[in-house]
Structure 1
């Protein structure tokens, strides 16, 4: 999970903000997707 966060930071803050916004809009959906990402 840490490498994932570091990768996002390296990609750019714009992606981080976009991801955070999307996370706030769809918390439940993102929760399921996050599980797949970890897998």
Structure 2
């Protein structure tokens, strides 16, 4: 496996994973905000 060929795939995976994590965190913060209110 060539690293140069897999780098774009790894970058895309990281971006997708980070976006999903950010959405999950946002949902958790919204839920915590509702609970604390």
Q: Is TM more than 0.5 here?
A: no
TM score, norm. by length of structure 2: 0.41
**More RCO (CA 8 Å, sep 6+):** 1
Name which one, 1 or 2, has greater alpha-carbon Rg: 2
- TM-score calculated relative to the size of structure 1: 0.39
